[in-house]
Amino acid sequence: MELVELLIVGAYGYGNIGDEAVLDGILLTFGKENVVVCSFSPKDTKKMHKVKAIKQSQFSTKHPAFMLGGGTLASDIHERYFKWLLQYVKKGKKTVIYSIGCDYYKSYLISIAIKLADNVSVRTKTDLEILKRKGIIRPIEIVPDPSFIIPPQEIPDLTIKENTVGIGVTGIRPPYPKRLVTLIKELNKDYNIIPVVSCIHKNNLKERDDITTRNLFESCGIKFESKYVREWHPRQLKWIISRLTRLYTMRKHPMIMLSTNVPVTVLSCNESSTTRMAKDYGVEIIRLNEARKGIISRNL
């Protein structure tokens, strides 16, 4: 499929390394030549991915082709991206929805856009089933999440000891689930524990996983080593994960970047797109439902 002057749209430039991993995989697949990325922070996108980027406020239909790329984009909070796609459909231009995840959205515009796009692919069978339940019957491919194909990139000045477990949490606050606190304290007896933070969001304090994970560590009496927490390139985060003995996470992309064969456990406070994906990939799930007062209800 030849795409010239392709505009790629997604949740890029917000500080979520998972979304940046998606974009990295897409650019590896389709190349960077004649590509423009629509980003919350074009400066950061240009620096990280070495690709042309524009602000979301600069969106236009001047490009010959449009791609909605990766991530759990079929959700109500991302409805505007589908509105943009429909503008390209109206002009008769090429439109692609590539390897997206699906939530149980309510917006009828999302369904219309998916029905009208030229090419549509989702990342798992569960995503495909969700669209079928929405009455969307059309050719849809299953394309594995783009982040699978990105290679790890070593961080020369960062050392990760043997017997190290990584933990990353999002969207929780005190009082923490008892099962989670017990797990961390038990792990601390036998392992070195480091934070694995995949989202330092630029526009949403609830998604500042660095703050959330630090608060949890301090509550459990665990040293929070900030040297492991940066706005890493996705390939660098993949390298960090590849050095672990095991990873415990509440986020999707640290889980699915594990083509590194590191055991992973998803920490789940409620049924979400993260737990559905964990089931698709046969990943262990620990359900932390014992202290629901500490849960911020939102999509992970």
pLDDT single digits (tens) 77-103: 899 999 999 999 999 999 999 999 998
Contact 118, 3 (CB under 8 A): no
CA angle 82, 23, 226 (to 5 degrees): 120
What domains does the chain contain, in order, with CATH numbers? 6-149 (3.40.50.11720), 164-294 (3.40.50)
Q: Which residue has the tokens 């993260």?
A: 274
In angstroms, how far is CA 175 from the centroid of its own chain? Answer: 26
The predicted-structure confidence for 211-257, as pLDDT tens digits, reads as follows 999 999 999 999 999 999 999 999 999 999 999 999 999 998 887 77
C-beta of residue 249 within 8 angstroms of C-beta of residue 196: yes
Q: What is the mean pLDDT of residues 54-61?
A: 96
Query: How much is the pLDDT for 258?
Result: 63
Q: Are 125 and 142 in contact (CB under 8 A)?
A: yes
Sign of the torsion formed by the C-alpha atoms of 35, 100, 196 and 191: negative
- Sheet arrangement for strand 94-100: 52-55, 35-39, 6-9, 65-69, 94-100, 119-122, 141-142
Q: Could you give the CA distance from residue 184 to residue 95 in angstroms, rounded to a whole number?
A: 46
Q: Hey, CA dihedral for 38, 296, 258, 125, is it positive or negative?
A: negative
Task: Collapse the DSSP code of 286 into the 3-class scheme (helix H, G, I; strand E, B; otherwise coil) and give the result.
Answer: strand
Distance CA 169, CA 210 (A): 9
- Tens digit of pLDDT for each residue in 104-138? 899 999 999 999 999 999 999 999 999 999 999 99
Single pTM value for the model? 0.92
DSSP-assigned states of every residue in 210-229: HHHHHHHHHHTT----GGG-
Tokens 């359900």, residue located:
287
Instruction: Round to whole Å and give the CA distance between 51 and 232.
Output: 17
Question: What residues pair up with 258 in beta bridges, in sequence order?
Answer: none
Residue 292 has pLDDT above 90, yes or no: no
The distance from CA 14 to its chain's CA centroid, rounded to whole angstroms, is: 11
- By residue count, the chain amounts to 300
Radius of gyration of the chain (CA): 19
Contact status, residue 139 vs residue 253, Cβ threshold 8 Å: no
What SS3 class is residue 135? coil
Place 4 in a pLDDT band, splitting at 50, 70 and 90: low
Tokens 């050392």 -> residue = 159
